Amino acid sequence: MERLPAARIREHAADGLAALLVDAVDGGASLGFLAPLDPAEAAGWWLAVAEETERGARTVWTAHGPGDVVLGAVTLVRGDKANGRHRGEIARLIVHRAARGQGLGGRLLAAAEEHAAGEGLTLLVLDTQTDSPAERLYRRAGWTAAGTIPDFAADPAGTLRPTTLYYKQLGTLPQDARIM
């Protein structure tokens, strides 16, 4: 796993990171985009991620294969509201179709969880398409389903699908703790 600074995200936005996102969306992963995903749109999304990373709002990890090919990525977004600084969101977990089924998604998720706990975050949330393969990953990793919202988002083909919200408690704050 490699934690990417903003400069490295910018460096790989138009090639490896964009290719990863295009592959996932074109393969049916519900990541907020419709298929076929234009590589320029994917690169633009990663450039926006670089800006968020530079501001300290988002952290990005990637996993690489032979030849430094990007095989997976995960992003963690910190809560930005005064009353939510104890929580974060797994905002994207992406694994290339060629690398699925090998535990890479679990390792990326664990890296983000470990970092979040080290930063003092005590709660993580995420959402994923209901009945997607990602749900099995999250359940195996100890995440709890909080509920399902029907017709929440369109899948890459444009069909409205339900979304399940998940959470994971990483620890607890003392009863008298205050969020600063």
Query: For residue 99, how many other CB atoms are within 10 A of its CB?
Result: 18
User: CB under 8 Å to 172, separation ≥6 — which residues?
Assistant: 122
65: three-class secondary structure by DSSP? coil
Q: What is the mean pLDDT of residues 48-67?
A: 96
In tens, the pLDDT along 111-167 reads 999 999 999 999 999 999 999 999 999 999 999 999 999 999 999 999 999 999 999
In tens, the pLDDT along 50-59 reads 999 999 999 9
From the candidate CATH numbers 3.10.330.20, 4.10.520.10, 3.40.50.2000, 3.40.630.30, the one assigned to the domain spanning 2-169: 3.40.630.30
Look at residue 171 in the predicted model and tell me its pLDDT.
80
User: CB under 8 Å to 68, separation ≥6 — which residues?
Assistant: 16
At how many degrees (to 10) do helices 133-140 and 104-118 cross?
Answer: 50
Higher pLDDT, 155 or 179: 155
pLDDT at 99 over 60: yes
